Amino acid sequence: MKPLRLAGLVLAVFLCPAILALAVARTAAQTADDGLPRAELIGALTLTHPGRWFGGFSGIDLRDTGTDLLLLGDRGRWARARLVRRDGQAVAAEGWTSARIKDPDGRPWPRGFTDAEGLARLPDGTLCLSYEGETRVDCHARPDAPAHPLPRIGDFGLMPENGGLEALAADDRGRLYTLSEQMRSADGRIPVYRWDGQAWSVVLHLPDQGGFVPVGADIHDGQLYLLLRRFSGIGFRSRLIRLPLPDGASTAPVTPQVLLQTGPGTHDNLEGVSVWRDGDGRLIATMISDDNLNWFQRTELVEYLLPEPPGAAAHGAARQRADSAAQGARQGTATGATQATAAATHEAATPGRQPRLAGNAALASGAQGD
């Protein structure tokens, strides 16, 4: 998301501490109307780095080790770091590197094409990005590899410049799910699009979220997790919801489970979410905030312990070992949808794309940029 109005954000950041403390207290005291347990705060860590490239992060990928951090910046950059943990809580990030995201010709994207918002990892390790502005989904075999664009559909061209494909997630079959920050159906619901390796389709509609808009997504154990945000003028509010993935397209009403809802100012502008399990089998949501490259905001890494999905058996270390073994068996062998995605990216061109700018040397993966 592009920078918000200066006056509103300054008000949100410098508002009376007593009001912000009240917001936090209200968040901590909330209980679920449906009687289901809510997420519990593990901790929050403010990330810093002196590089001019640092900040503006909208996408996050965190492997089940909980330490290998990959971030996506909405100014056309990757960033990587290693999280240092103490008693399971992130206390520092070290070893930062950054590189520019490359276009299909292997050059850094020119200005106007860099507003990447969503990040998803396919089972074979391919990284896919969703964009605002020139609304599209691109995939990269590696962070230093050229972009391979997926086909676009008509709806993508109708999305507002600052309300495009804000969130992206991948399931264990290599299918991609994305949704717009602002586009709604005629009845006000939020369409969720799925790429199955051959074509895009709408697989479900989310009910209106009462002013909260989708900004991040992830999929874990067959559950779709959506991070939503609302800006009220006195601070950002966040909501994290969960719902089971449909196998086919569904027009039936869905009622997501609300896992987390914060008061204004509890956290900064949370935009990316990655759901994973730690060594004890605990289900964790790690979220990253987009500081819009503003001095009065911060890059915040926030982690919550999530309750298990309704009806799910408790997951312990044995389940995690089974998941790790299954992932190892899949390594190097893409699913049918993933293979089709790779083929489609080589054949499809994104309609309406302007010519690439030449003359910019691409940064190698892990090279420190400006």
With 0-12 CB in 10 A as exposed, 13-18 as middle and 19+ as buried, what is 330? middle
The residue-averaged pLDDT of 336-362 equals 43
Coil, strand or helix at 158 = helix
Q: How confident is the model at residue 356 (pLDDT cuts 50, 70, 90)?
A: very low
When comparing pLDDT for 288 and 311, which is higher?
288
- pLDDT of the residue at 183: 81
Picking from 154-163, 193-202, 341-350, which range would have the lowest pLDDT averaged per residue? 341-350
| pLDDT tens, residue by residue, 94-118 | 999 999 999 999 999 998 899 999 9
Q: Is the pLDDT of residue 198 over 90?
A: yes
When comparing pLDDT for 320 and 354, which is higher?
320
The residue-averaged pLDDT of 210-229 equals 95
Q: How confident is the model at residue 181 (pLDDT cuts 50, 70, 90)?
A: confident
Cβ atoms of residues 120 and 151 within 8 Å: no
Based on C-alpha coordinates, what's the Rg of the chain?
A: 19
User: In the chain, pLDDT over 70 holds for what percent of residues?
Assistant: 75
Cβ atoms of residues 369 and 360 within 8 Å: no
- pLDDT of the residue at 126: 98
**DSSP state, residue 29:** H
- pLDDT of the residue at 228: 96
At residue 347, φ and ψ (nearest 5 deg) are -95, -25
Q: How confident is the model at residue 41 (pLDDT cuts 50, 70, 90)?
A: very high
What is the rounded average pLDDT for all residues in the chain? 81
Q: What is the DSSP string of 252-295?
A: S---PEEEEEPPTTSSS-EEEEEEEE-TT--EEEEEEE--TT-T
Q: How confident is the model at residue 128 (pLDDT cuts 50, 70, 90)?
A: very high
The structural domains of the chain, ordered by start, are: 6-347 (2.120.10)
Q: Is the pLDDT of residue 306 over 90?
A: yes
| pLDDT tens, residue by residue, 242-261 | 999 988 777 777 899 999 99
Count other C-beta atoms under 10 Å from residue 50's C-beta: 6
Q: Is the pLDDT of residue 359 over 70?
A: no
| pLDDT tens, residue by residue, 258-292 | 999 999 999 999 999 999 999 999 999 999 999 98
- pLDDT of the residue at 248: 75
| pLDDT tens, residue by residue, 20-37 | 444 443 444 344 556 678
